[in-house]
């Protein structure tokens, strides 16, 4: 129970528990370097989702949660790993809480139990795309009744245009990847491997460089998010503008446009270059905090941002900006994109392209000028380049670093030896500390 900083340990019998409690009474136990205390629990046994006496009892539908999905997760990928456990009937991908999917097996077979036992906790790719698998609530299979769909969470935003009409309400991703006809006609059909032929031609939202989609789906299948547009809620209106939103989201893919919404204070739309960038941004930025407000990042129903009528934000800047030609986008060529390391926000930022003679005091002055917190620690790497300097900036908290990223990324630093300034660039670091 990580939020309580506690754990339950169940022994085979009471004697084992007694021995543990008695030992801990006389000896200090350390776990991961921290002193731990052991006592009896009021629980008689540990119940986990999926246990037969749990509310989520064994059934034929599995709920997959994909943790750290830095590569594209499509129905083709899930089919490839799930079908060896038994004939997969349906797969539905949705993105209400990160990347999740429902996988349905035949009702009277043990395929779902076999899949859960063999796949739960496994990585689809090395060190990422980790599977957390539970039995879905209830025992009914994935519904095809349009009337019931309205009460389910929206899957992949809205349905695409080619499946509009009475079957709208949710969109299971395999329809446009060739897994059979659109609903409701696939009721009872066994799901087969992808059929040949593409339902749509190459998309401008095809995969971005740097993180190519893994096989089997070819890039012509288009994005794996339903729209290249993100909705972002929880922005501080007095502090954020289009450039600062760009400065945060450009770490996860090319940003095309940013538009603040007059009708929804603190909300903005961000159009990314493709669906893979959308998923990376949701995975890494959703539920983080900026200026005391929780960010909610999700897929928009809109297929693109239309400029419309713009207005002035609190700092006087425009509510809409086009970044499609920005030189600060970082995924425009394979060589450029390969340098990007996709990281979750942390309290340490890696800086690069700063003047050679940059000092800790320079960063303090700039942070004071921008009105953000000074870093608690600054480390400048020596001798990495003859043209510019790089290093690490550390803050007390992750949100402090995220806020500063919005303000400080792409700051024009004075060049002491010439007329052209240095464009400071920032990204999150894997380092725990700047020292």
Write the pLDDT tens digit of every residue in 386-416: 789 999 999 999 999 999 999 999 999 998 8
Query: Residues 293, 266: contact at Cβ < 8 Å?
Result: yes
Alpha-carbon gap, residue 311 to 235, rounded angstroms: 17
Write the pLDDT tens digit of every residue in 178-216: 233 333 322 233 344 333 333 333 333 333 444 444 444
Write the pLDDT tens digit of every residue in 80-137: 999 899 999 999 988 766 789 999 998 877 889 999 988 998 888 877 888 999 998 8
Q: How confident is the model at residue 138 (pLDDT cuts 50, 70, 90)?
A: low
Backbone angles phi, psi at 102, to 5 degrees: -105, 130
Residue 40 has what pLDDT? Answer: 84
Q: Indicate where the chain has its CATH 3.30.70.330 domain(s).
A: 1-44, 61-135, 229-337, 343-428
Region 229-337: CATH code? 3.30.70.330
Write the pLDDT tens digit of every residue in 264-285: 999 999 999 988 899 899 999 9
Query: Residues 36, 30: contact at Cβ < 8 Å?
Result: yes
Alpha-carbon gap, residue 240 to 11, rounded angstroms: 53
Higher pLDDT, 168 or 62: 62
Tokens 């700047």 correspond to what residue?
434
Burial (0-12, 13-18, 19+ Cβ within 10 Å), 60: buried
Region 343-428: CATH code? 3.30.70.330
Question: What is the pTM assigned to this prediction?
Answer: 0.54
Alpha-carbon gap, residue 133 to 53, rounded angstroms: 17
Query: Residues 230, 407: contact at Cβ < 8 Å?
Result: no
Region 61-135: CATH code? 3.30.70.330
Specify the CATH number for 1-44; select among 3.30.70.330, 3.40.228.10, 3.40.50.800, 3.20.20.140. 3.30.70.330
Alpha-carbon gap, residue 431 to 401, rounded angstroms: 13
Write the pLDDT tens digit of every residue in 294-338: 999 999 988 899 888 899 999 999 999 999 999 999 998 888 888
Query: Residues 328, 256: contact at Cβ < 8 Å?
Result: no
Contacts of 402 (CB under 8 A, 6+ apart): 248, 288, 289, 290, 345
Residue 157 gets which letter from DSSP?
S
């Amino acid at each position: 129970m990580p939020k309580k900083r506690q754990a339950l340990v169940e022994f085979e019998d009471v004697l084992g528990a007694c021995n543990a409690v008695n030992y801990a009474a006389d000896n200090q136990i350390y776990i991961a370097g921290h002193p731990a205390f052991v006592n009896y629990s009021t629980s008689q046994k540990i119940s986990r989702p999926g246990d037969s006496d749990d509310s989520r009892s064994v059934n034929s539908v599995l709920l997959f949660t994909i943790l750290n999905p830095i590569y594209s997760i499509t129905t083709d990928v899930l089919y490839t790993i799930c079908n060896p456990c038994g004939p997969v009937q349906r797969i539905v991908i949705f993105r209400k809480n990160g990347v999740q999917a429902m996988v349905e097996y035949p009702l009277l077979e043990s395929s779902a139990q076999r899949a859960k036992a063999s796949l739960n906790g496994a990585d689809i790719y090395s060190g990422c795309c980790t599977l957390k698998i539970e039995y879905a609530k209830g025992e009914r299979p994935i519904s095809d009744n349009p009337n019931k769909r309205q009460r389910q969470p929206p899957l992949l935003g809205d349905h695409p245009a080619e499946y509009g009409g009475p079957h709208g309400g949710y969109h299971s991703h395999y329809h446009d990847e060739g897994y059979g006809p659109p609903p409701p006609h696939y009721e009872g059909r066994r799901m087969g491997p992808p059929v040949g032929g593409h339902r749509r031609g190459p998309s401008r939202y095809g995969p971005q460089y740097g993180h190519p989609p893994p096989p089997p789906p070819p890039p012509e299948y288009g994005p794996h998010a339903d729209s290249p547009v993100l909705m972002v809620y929880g922005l501080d209106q007095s502090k954020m503008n289009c450039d600062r939103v760009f400065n945060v989201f450009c770490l996860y893919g090319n940003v095309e446009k940013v538009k603040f919404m007059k009708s929804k204070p603190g909300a903005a739309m961000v159009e990314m270059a493709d669906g893979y960038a959308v998923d990376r941004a949701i995975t890494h930025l959703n539920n983080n905090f900026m200026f005391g407000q929780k960010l909610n990042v999700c897929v928009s129903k809109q297929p693109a941002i239309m400029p419309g009528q713009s207005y002035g934000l609190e700092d006087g800047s425009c509510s809409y900006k086009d970044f499609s030609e920005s030189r600060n986008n970082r995924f425009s060529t394979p060589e450029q994109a390969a340098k990007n390391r996709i990281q979750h926000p942390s309290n340490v930022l890696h800086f690069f392209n700063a003047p050679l003679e940059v000092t800790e005091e320079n960063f303090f002055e700039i942070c004071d000028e921008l009105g953000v917190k000074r870093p608690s620690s600054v480390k400048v790497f020596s001798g990495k380049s003859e043209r510019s300097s790089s290093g690490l900036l550390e803050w007390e908290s992750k949100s402090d670093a995220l806020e500063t990223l919005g303000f400080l990324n792409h700051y024009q630093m004075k060049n002491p030896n010439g007329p052209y300034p240095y464009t400071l660039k920032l990204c999150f670091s894997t380092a725990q500390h700047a020292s």
